[in-house]
Amino acid sequence: MKLEMNNKPLAAFSVSSLTDIVMLLLIFFLLTSQFVLQTGVKIKLPGAKNNEQLAPSKLVITLSDKGEIFVGDERIQLEGVAGRLSQMKAASPENNLILRADKSVPVDLVIKVIDAARGIGIDKFTIETEKANL
């Protein structure tokens, strides 16, 4: 019995395995893009039983437990809060200020920041909290 050897190159290329790899990469990148971490100052937010999801905002002020004030990631003094917020407000039409205050921040400091923001025309405020298991 004589066997014939077929040494001809393949005329067609199978792309089914390539499409599987591309599909897996697409799913991987879609899933990992949902886990973007927010960078910034570490604080312990107060807990609330009835909190809701916030819409992302560019007007974010963080008050640390050491009395430091951060507008975005930039450390700023209390006197410069109004000026920096007015610059940020001019760049974006948002009118909602998100306050991220540590549990141990005195209410007096929060009131001073709110007062500075009201002075430049911001009238909506959201205090960010964590979901508490009470």
Considering just the CA atoms, what is the radius of gyration of the chain in Å? 27
Q: Where are the beta strands (DSSP E) in 3-134?
A: 47-48, 60-63, 69-71, 74-76, 96-101, 124-127, 130-131
Q: Is the pTM of this model over 0.75?
A: no
pLDDT digits (tens, 9 = 90+) for 49-72: 666 666 666 788 889 888 889 887
Among 62, 57, 88, smallest CA distance to 75 is for 62
Which pLDDT tens digits describe the chain residue by residue (134 residues)? 677 777 777 667 777 788 889 999 999 888 877 665 555 556 666 666 666 666 666 788 889 888 889 887 889 998 998 888 888 888 877 778 888 888 888 888 988 998 888 888 888 888 887 776 65
Please provide residue 70's backbone torsions phi and psi, each rounded to the nearest 5 degrees: -120, 130
AA identity, residue 72: G
CATH class of 47-131: alpha beta
**Torsion angles phi and psi, residue 40, rounded to 5:** 150, -155
* SS3 at position 24: helix
| pLDDT at 52 (0 to 100) | 63
